[in-house]
Amino acid sequence: MEYGRIGKWKLVNRTLAYGVRTLVMGILNVTPDSFSDGGRFFDSTLAIRRAEQMLQEGADIIDVGGESTRPGASQVPEDEEIRRVAPVIRKLAIETGAIISVDTTKASVAAAAIDEGAEIINDISGLRFDPAIGEVAASARAGLILMHSRGTMETMHRPEPANEIIDEVIDGLRHSITEARVSEVCAESIAVDPGIGFGKTFEQNLQLLADLSLIAREFSGYPLVLGTSRKRFIGRLLGDLPTDDRLAGTMATVTAAVLNGADIVRVHDVRSAVQTVRVADALKRRGPAD
């Protein structure tokens, strides 16, 4: 077991070291229809309070999203998405100095978020939906997470299955990186995410997690982000448990992710994840006996 690929991820105003330990990205959904928290933090005051709590629990990054990507979710107009995320990002940036990511597939939303203090753009489409996000990231010198997904916003949760999911994810991420570089995004600002749950079958999600080291090796020059938190495949593994009962299963996948090469884990339950990655990092540093 080879311990972390130590590197530096260049963001708007700072550089974030990765590989020394696994970083934790806390999910903050300012939406009325998220699959995981049911709109609990749609009110901006509650959202900011939740972000502050995640920071106290040890979150390294707060990922703010204003549009749900759950199955069946309605698309949000750009101005409404900006209205949801901008005040939360502004207040967090001013009052906490936290590293903030915006989870969006729209260039206008990404630009507005950067103007308010976000330093990372998290694009679940890997520049497929709005390639201009690459130009926004390049202009601001922002961090850019390129995630692999399949299909459109309407079909990504029910596409035709891929035959060789590892190969498809690798090819898709390569293409996204190429597109980002064409837009002049700095290579040191790019991170990749294989997109667990986005257009993959139950079996393919398990395969991606079990074989994550193949993706980590393929993209060894980039931080590897993984988000499994509370996802449907975990509930299915545990007898169709509801979303709120998937904490233990989520932490098992976080451990597997760390041991197989993830540099950043994206989670709802920050306190549990911080404790989990601390143990997993210790195991990974030690490695197998000679």
Catalytic residue ranges: 231, 266
Spatial separation of the C-alpha atoms in residues 80 and 29, rounded to whole Å: 14
Token representation of residue 51 = 């972000």
Give which of 215, 170, 234 is closest to 36, Cα–Cα: 234
CA distance 288 to 285: 9
77: left (phi over 0), alpha (psi -120 to 50) or beta: beta
Instruction: Look at phi and psi of residue 267 and say left if phi exceeds 0, alpha if psi is from -120 to 50, else beta.
Output: beta
| Angle formed at CA 82 by CA 78 and CA 197, multiple of 5 degrees | 75
Helix 202-210 × helix 247-259 angle, to 10°: 40
Residues in the chain, total: 290
Contact, 226 vs 262, CB < 8 A?
A: yes
Buried b (16+ CB within 10 A) or exposed e, 184-211: ebeebbbbbbbbbbbbbeeebbbbbbee
Q: Which of 254, 258, 234 is nearest to 244 (CA)?
A: 234
